[in-house]
């Protein structure tokens, strides 16, 4: 049985229906059977075991990194797999995501989340602490969502093709400052930029068109830079 604040419906009342078909809830409210989008899987079907990167940040990070079909992407840590799902969707069957996750229990959940989306074959998850190094080379873009990225940017940089971007997501400004010091000290990261995204949804009501009264405020900072040869 699927239950909601508008009424319930048995799964048998939905199963086998064509996408877009109307069905009736127990209360008589008419609803529709919709094909889930990636964002629906992330927000409603993924089991969450960690803090996640929210859609407002995921989209911009993927765009900044220029991820596209065929790309080889490195990611640490995998956590719940929100970012992994976005990246694996974009790189397609010709590309691949090499992910590091130190917690085996989290990796197991992330794998199950990705399997439900049908994209697990595009992802290799290694149960390892990225601080001990990575074995990949010729990576097109790297993403870090771990608490201490300044300890690993040097080693991650060396896995990247020169000129490739590295994107780091950090919840606090203190972490951003530590990372900036490290990037500048290393000298092999250029075009360093820091972003924060704010997304405001509107009430789609022509008689009372205005922003919704609730909003996700702070999530984190996005630190962008590009790796270059520093010889």
Ligand X SMILES: C[S@@+](CC[C@H](N)C(=O)[O-])C[C@H]1O[C@@H](n2cnc3c(N)ncnc32)[C@H](O)[C@@H]1O
Interface contacts to ligand X, rule CB under 6 A:
50-53, 76-77, 79-83, 100-103, 106, 129-131, 145-146
How many CB atoms within 10 Å of residue 140?
Answer: 20
Question: Which lies closer to ligand X via its Cβ, residue 33 or residue 128?
Answer: 128
Residue 152 Cβ vs ligand X, minimum distance, rounded to whole Å:
7
DSSP letter (8 states) at residue 35: P
Residue 81 Cβ vs ligand X, minimum distance, rounded to whole Å:
5
CA distance 146 to 159: 17
Residue 164 Cβ vs ligand X, minimum distance, rounded to whole Å:
19
Question: Which lies closer to ligand X via its Cβ, residue 77 or residue 95?
Answer: 77
Residue 201 Cβ vs ligand X, minimum distance, rounded to whole Å:
21
How many angstroms separate the most distant Cα atoms in the chain? Answer: 71
Name the residue whose CB lies closest to ligand X. 77
100 within 8 A of 79, measured Cβ to Cβ = no
CA distance 126 to 142: 15
CA distances 174 to 24, 43, 77, 115, 180, Å, are 52, 29, 20, 36, 10
Residue 54 Cβ vs ligand X, minimum distance, rounded to whole Å:
8
Dig out the tokens for 178 from the structure. Answer: 């530590």
Sign of the C-alpha dihedral computed for residues 128, 133, 135 and 138 taken in this order: positive
Residue 124 Cβ vs ligand X, minimum distance, rounded to whole Å:
14
Question: Which lies closer to ligand X via its Cβ, residue 155 or residue 212?
Answer: 155
Question: Which lies closer to ligand X via its Cβ, residue 102 or residue 228?
Answer: 102
- Give SS3 for 96: strand
Question: Which lies closer to ligand X via its Cβ, residue 51 or residue 197?
Answer: 51
How many CB atoms within 10 Å of residue 62?
Answer: 21
Question: Which lies closer to ligand X via its Cβ, residue 68 or residue 103?
Answer: 103
148 within 8 A of 128, measured Cβ to Cβ = no
């Amino acid at each position: 049985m699927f239950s909601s604040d508008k009424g319930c419906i048995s799964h048998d009342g939905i199963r086998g229906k064509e996408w877009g078909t109307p069905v009736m809830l127990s209360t008589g409210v008419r609803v529709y059977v919709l094909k889930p989008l990636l964002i629906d899987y992330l927000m409603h079907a993924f089991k969450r075991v960690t803090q996640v990167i929210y859609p407002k940040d995921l989209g911009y990070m993927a765009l900044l990194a220029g991820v596209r079909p065929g790309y080889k992407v490195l990611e640490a840590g995998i956590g719940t797999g929100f970012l992994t799902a976005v990246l694996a969707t974009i790189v397609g069957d010709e590309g691949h995501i090499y992910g590091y996750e130190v917690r085996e229990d989290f990796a197991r959940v992330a794998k199950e989340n990705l399997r439900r989306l049908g994209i697990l074959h595009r992802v290799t998850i290694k149960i390892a602490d990225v601080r001990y190094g990575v074995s990949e080379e010729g990576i097109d873009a790297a993403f870090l969502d771990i608490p201490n990225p300044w300890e690993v940017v040097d080693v991650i940089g060396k896995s990247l093709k020169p000129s490739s971007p590295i994107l780091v997501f950090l919840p606090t400004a203190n972490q951003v400052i530590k990372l900036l010091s490290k990037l500048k000290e290393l000298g092999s990261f250029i075009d360093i930029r820091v972003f924060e995204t704010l997304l405001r949804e509107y009430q789609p009501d022509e008689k009372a068109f205005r922003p919704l009264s609730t909003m996700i405020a702070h999530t984190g900072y996005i630190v962008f830079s590009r790796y270059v040869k520093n010889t």
